[in-house]
Each structure stands twice: as structure tokens, then as C-alpha cells.
Homo-oligomer: A and B are copies of this chain.
Amino acid sequence: MSAEVISLRERGSQPSLAPMLALTAPGMNSVNAVILDRMQSEIPLIPALAGHLIAGGGKRMRPMLTVAGAELCGYQGTRHHKLAAAVEFIHTATLLHDDVVDGSETRRGKAAANIVFGNPATVLVGDFLFTRSFELMVEDGSLKVLKILSTASSIIAAGEVDQLTAQRRIETSEDHYLDIIGSKTAALFAAATRISAVIAEKGEAEELALDSYGRNLGIAFQLVDDAIDYDSEAAESGKDKGDDFREGKMTLPVILAYARGNAEERKFWEDAIAGFRCDDEDLAHAITLINKHGCVEATRERARMYAQRAIDALSIFPSGAARDAMAEAVQFAVARRY
């Protein structure tokens, strides 16, 4: 672990995403052009629905990781533009299907695609984007990249099923939860970053380091996401609060609150996760219990541990602007409150 990296935490100011955005801006312009070009189709409903979500913003975090990794590896070509777009299409397809599965009402501050266009169109356009992502990978033509991304896609899909299985099951353990987020979230972060080392023709050490960076960042990111859903201090951020609670999702704040609760509290959690107590008053009580046992902070603390692992994984790369930006992006991800 390098001194330059760890200094980010110690200099006292808030970590910023600005260096990461600056590092990846030129590459992301090209990636966005590929995304907009390749979501087109003669069937008007496809760009309409895909555009609703894609034009709705989103942080483009996963393709940004591919671009940042390419910068870190000193890659000079353009292959990462198509591949980063493929990564974003996989993610977009997953979001569309997630919103159908969860019956979501909003996404990125707008009505979710399933609300605007209905479940059937949302399922089928998700399928289309998924096949389009594979076309992009096949056009690139690297079997190694294809293997990394097809394996990641399969792990994500299995993780989504696993999460569905765990829903409304109070007995879900922290280990099981970590398996789920490792699959449904961190696998794509890991693959997105790893493929940069492959196209830059770096060695296995660099590949594994970037895989570890992405994977640990992905876990940290998901842990913070799950913490925010119960964070009373983040209440005004605009994020829809309590969706996880109402859907009976076993995320780490709940797992910890259940583990740390007394008999009465555990009874509450059993009823709530089973779906018998999920109105606003129940959500308020859930947040009270989670705060009482410090479970948001405990979840964030675990996130910081994975964040540190992600930063440590960068240590084999030469110091410089790319590495600093990628390290600070991790700090930013775990410090965020929205």
C-alpha cells in the first residue's frame, strides 16, 4: 500500500470524485457515443425505453471503471470504448429487470420504465440490451474478455435469483448476504475493471489486482447503498427511503439489528421482513432500532474495510494521477450519503 494513496484519508478534506471524472472524461465521451449509437433499433420502442433509463442519467460507474483501468494501464487504443458500453448495457438490462421484479415506481428520480412502458416491454428491452452487449463483446473479438464478461453475467443472474430467494427470510446470514452482493453487484465491477488489464496486455498480476479493486469497491458500494436506505441523516437526499424494508430485503443493517436485538425487537423484525409490518410507522421504528444498535455505522465500517482492500489492490501500479483518482473514487464511494 502506498503512502500517496492512504494520504487521501488523512488530509482532512472530503474525498472527491472530480479527479476520477477528469481522468475518464475523454474516454467516457467516446463510451457514451457508443451507448447512444448501439441502443438504436428500427423498432422505435427499443430506443424509447432504453433511452428513458439511459438518458435519465446514472453515474455510468461501471464503464468509468473500465476507462479508468485503461488509463491506469497506460492503454493507448480504443477497444475499451465498446467494451465499456457492453458493461453498461449489462448493467442497464439488470436494472430494467430489477425494476420489474421489485415493482419499482421510481429510478434515477423519474418514473421507472416498468411504470411508463409496462412490464412486458421492460422485460423484452432488457433482453435486447443484454444481447446487444454480447454483440459488442463479440465485435471486440477477445475470447479472454468474452470469458470474463460472460462469466460475470452468469454470476450476476444467479445472484439476482439468490437475492430473490433470500427475500423475506429473516434467517439470512451476513455471509449469505455478502455472497449475494458479491454476485449481483461486485462481479460486474470486478469484470469491468479487469478487462482493462486484458486489453492493455498486462500480466496476470495486474488483471487480478484490477479484479480485486473492482470487486472490493463493488462490495463497499453496495454496503453503503444498503446503509443509506436506513440512514436517518441522509433522509433529505431525495433517494426513496425504505424500499428495501418494504420489499423485505435482508440487507446488512437489518441482519445486524436482528442479531443485536432483544426478543421483542427480533419479533418486530420477523414480522416486518415477513411483510406484516411495512407501513411508514413500521419503517420509522425499524430506523430507530437500527440506530439504537449503530447498524448504519457498523455497515459503513465494513464498507470502509472493503474500500481499503480496493485501495490496497492498486499498490502494484505506479503512482500517479490515475492511481490517485481511482483511490479517491473509492473513498468518495464509501463517504457518500445519497
Contact = CB atoms under 8 A, between A and B. Distances in A.
B138 A119 contact: no
A31 B249 CA distance: 38
A138 B143 contact: yes
A121 interface: yes
A191 B135 CA distance: 15
B121 A45 contact: no
A46 B158 contact: yes
A125 B154 CA distance: 10
Contacts of A137: 150
B100 A161 contact: no
Contact of A153 (B97, B131, B146): B131
A120 B143 contact: no
Q: Assembly of this chain: how many copies?
A: 2
A120 B135 contact: no
B125 A100 contact: no
Given A138-B146, A143-B138, A161 B131 contact: no
Contacts of A268: none
Interface in A214-231: none
A128 interface: yes
Interface string A111-131: 000000001110111011011
B143 A147 contact: no
Interface in A282-297: none
A264 B160 CA distance: 51
Interface string A151-195: 101101110111011000000000000000000000000000000
A124 B46 contact: no
Contact of A160 (B127, B130, B150, B154): B127
A121 B43 contact: no
Nearest to A127: B157
Contact of A97 (B127, B135, B146): B127
Nearest to A46: B161
A302 interface: no
Interface in A226-276: none
Contact of A130 (B42, B130, B146): B130
A265 B121 CA distance: 31
B128 A101 contact: no
Contacts of A147: 138
A264 B101 CA distance: 43
26 contacts: A43-B162, A45-B161, A45-B164, A45-B165, A46-B158, A97-B124, A100-B123, A101-B124, A121-B161, A121-B164, A124-B157, A124-B160, A124-B161, A124-B164, A125-B161, A127-B130, A127-B160, A130-B130, A130-B157, A131-B150, A135-B150, A135-B151, A135-B154, A137-B150, A138-B143, A138-B147
